[in-house]
Structure 1
């Protein structure tokens, strides 16, 4: 019953606070591709894309939280494996004849685990907004997050950017996802 929810009755919603890293990835231009090539071809691309994301996520110990049509939300307990997984997905998409480019956003931070399988917090929102800001072929992340990681990729500073929904501009980096 709704009245029994700890969020309604005054329980502590922060009891389920956890540190997580989030990535949102998206096949850029999918709507146009579907319109031009047809639904059947679009589904073929999605089948290949999702199979690749599943394999790479499993290899890095990353969870696919949800599929978002031609994109996905991924979650990791530690930032390094998720960062490496997203770079691997970009390499695969870029180098294997995919007709569309990948774009993505990464962010880490404390969030509330909500109803057992959803996450509420600034890190989730930031990763989603960075994916929206990324150009085709780009993966963006806050520079503060990437500077502390031990990952085998380079991050090119791109300066401070306004991020929709956030009060202050943020220093961002573009992960070098070139194979």
Structure 2
């Protein structure tokens, strides 16, 4: 279990574990012993939990570092650091438990509305990628503080637009976000909303956005399958400040008066020798 959580195996003579570690190991083993999950699923649960928790922990340590810097000390006194940490960590722990419960309730509600098929683990979803144009070049021209502000602003904008559009943010990978949504029209609104919001933010580079629809395999918080790959390829092909969609999205929106679709010539990208894209926009 220790390695599944993202830590190296400990030597027999190392003193690393407490009663909490023993209790966690027993809990994982109990799930398998009770037949609730098999060993393979238990390992996958541990890995998925660890990945999310690791990112959360890094963010929280960054928050503590910023709080320390605000005290006016380059290296805050040890007693002060300990006191501040003791005050902040319980609040963060309570907040993350609250947020987890809210997301769990939302996920259960979606499962009730769209129950998975007993014979097929895939779900019909619309998948979108949004990628900041020229991110590497932009980072060379900005200070660390400016870069940090840009990343925070990008995260705030994308999270708000995706949530308001009824979508789910799957992950952020550097200068790119991946989101999914149940309805194709909602995905189109999110994609165009992201483009428009970022247009209005002078501090953010323009976006390339790709959108594809069809069967997707959700797996421990991430999504896989050809639809995901097509959305990624469309993103890499799109011009700055534009949205490209695949045939599935184009067909679903063909009679929707809110949108316009302009077919462009097929493109050759990695894994697809002839990918047919459409440019999506709002109807004037």
Q: Same fold (TM over 0.5)?
A: yes
C-alpha distance in 2 between matches for 1:83 and 1:43: 29
How many residues of Structure 1 are paired with residues of Structure 2 in the alignment?
171
C-alpha contact (below 8 Å) 2:184/2:252 kept by paired residues: no
Tell me what 1:165 maps to. Answer: 271
Structure 2: runs of 5+ lacking an equivalent: 5-37, 42-118
Tell me what 1:27 maps to. Answer: 132
Query: Residue 176 of structure 1: SS of its match in structure 2?
Result: strand
Q: How big is the alpha-carbon RMSD for the aligned residues of Structure 1 and Structure 2?
A: 2.5
Say which of 165, 175, 179 aligns to 2:280: 175
Tell me what 2:159 maps to. Answer: 54
1:3-152 equivalence runs, <5 A: 4-5=39-40, 15-114=120-219, 116-149=220-253, 150=256, 152=258
What's the TM-score once normalised by structure 1's chain length?
Answer: 0.84
Higher relative contact order (CA 8 A, sep 6+): 1
| Structure 1 residues 113-146: Cα deviation after superposition (integer angstroms, max 9, x where no partner) | 22x3122210011111111111211211114422
C-alpha distance in 2 between matches for 1:151 and 1:16: 33
1:89–1:141 CA distance, 2 compared to 1 (3 A): same
Structure 1: runs of 5+ lacking an equivalent: 7-13
C-alpha contact (below 8 Å) 1:143/1:157 kept by paired residues: no
The structure where helix makes up a greater share of residues is 2
What's the TM-score once normalised by structure 2's chain length?
Answer: 0.55
Deviation at 1:177, TM superposition (A): 6.5
C-alpha contact (below 8 Å) 2:258/2:282 kept by paired residues: no
Query: Residue 123 of structure 1: SS of its match in structure 2?
Result: helix
The structure where strand makes up a greater share of residues is 1
1:177–1:37 CA distance, 2 compared to 1 (3 A): farther
1:54–1:151 CA distance, 2 compared to 1 (3 A): farther
